[in-house]
Structure 1
């Protein structure tokens, strides 16, 4: 059976900002799915310990006051998210995240900030192909896949826009659980539309996404420099920056 018909784990974070090295987790969801339908899920509301900017609260709906009153300590939340993801990876189950390099890099930064073991250290040498260095994964990133298989499609590549392209209903954009489930459904829709995605093995597809993301970053960096920013640097690392 192809990977997209098996169990998939949706993952999403809502945060205080857009820099994965500096932003903090506000809400998170890890949703277990089968056939694109949720089986069970874990959801978190954290007190990030820093103010939540008004522009971030306007997107995900969580104010600093609410997070401080109802959120759990960030260190506990970060540890539990990492345990949930690495537990699925240890069983060989892929984690699906839209723009995975943002969410996973932010989680990795939070782990280091709180003095907790980073994701790759938790996994040891058990994962990946024989002879390869340990890495997190397998990871499925519909954002990276969609740019690779439909490179010249015009328009935005936000989760909402890509959901419309693939006929996926997203009722509560920027709610972590809804976004995590939508990411899974978009991944399945991409596989259904493109046989080379559906037929790839999980680690083969993981490695292809590493390459695709790197190629995109290189091209985007060149474009930025042509636009007058000669020192522009775009990190092409995936799924961890």
Structure 2
């Protein structure tokens, strides 16, 4: 499934969103990848999904209440790691037979994300730094211009900021907690993208504090991540482990 043209045409017909648009009323572009491993710039994307979703209030929109999807299978420039293959099911043989060249698929993905960012439509990804850094790493290997991704929604960061629940916060666990029913099998890019988008409604409904305007979205998430990291590192140090480093986006 590619359907890139429909997604580009639909995006192109949408107006640029105002920065004071609340998250709950915003168009969203979901994004997820499956990869050969976890090292951005060394490993590679083998599957990617982009899903455009209209807000519930957009009853007369171009999208007309239906998700617009595009998906790619991509031939990586490095072999699948056994660990990644066990999770996502992709094999080197399957990718060689069914995958599109990186030089064809990756610029198309970048083109769609770039257009959405220009229209102030947030990119939604669960644990967003992973997918964003993997994409930027693959584009760098092609000597392509890096993407200016300045508007992102990460339900993992938001959930950590608003919920004090205990337990794991994988996408599977978090969707189960919020009553989101999976549409397809997890660890496929399309199913994970749709499930991630489905989290926005219960998060913004149950926790109105996270229904911030687009202009405050990144600052809100960075502050939430910083507060979570401080608390988490206190726990790690008390447990005799080293603190985690780095930042969000």
Q: TM-score range by the shorter chain?
A: 0.7 to 0.9
- 1:30 equivalent to 2:61? Answer no
- 1:16 equivalent to 2:13? Answer no
Q: 1:206–1:38: structure 2 CA closer, same or farther, 3 Å change rule? A: farther
- Report the equivalent of 2:83: 55
RMSD between superposed Cα atoms in Å:
1.9
- Paired with 2:43 and 2:201, the residues of 1 have a C-alpha distance of 29
CA deviation after TM superposition for structure 1 residue 19, in Å = 2.9
CA contact (8 A) 1:221 1:234 kept: no
CA deviation after TM superposition for structure 1 residue 56, in Å = 1.2
- Report the equivalent of 2:16: none
> 3-state DSSP class of the match of 1:13?
strand
**1:179-190 correspondence runs (5 A):** 179-190=192-203
- Paired with 2:103 and 2:244, the residues of 1 have a C-alpha distance of 31
- Report the equivalent of 2:229: 217
CA deviation after TM superposition for structure 1 residue 187, in Å = 1.7
- Report the equivalent of 1:149: 162
- Report the equivalent of 2:105: 77
Q: 1:227–1:27: structure 2 CA closer, same or farther, 3 Å change rule? A: same
- Paired with 1:225 and 1:117, the residues of 2 have a C-alpha distance of 40
- Report the equivalent of 2:9: none
CA deviation after TM superposition for structure 1 residue 193, in Å = 0.7
CA contact (8 A) 2:40 2:138 kept: no
Structure 1 unmatched runs, 5+: 121-135
Give the total of aligned pairs. 220
- Paired with 1:225 and 1:22, the residues of 2 have a C-alpha distance of 31
Alignment TM-score, normalising by the size of structure 1: 0.84
- Paired with 2:49 and 2:221, the residues of 1 have a C-alpha distance of 23
- Report the equivalent of 2:14: none
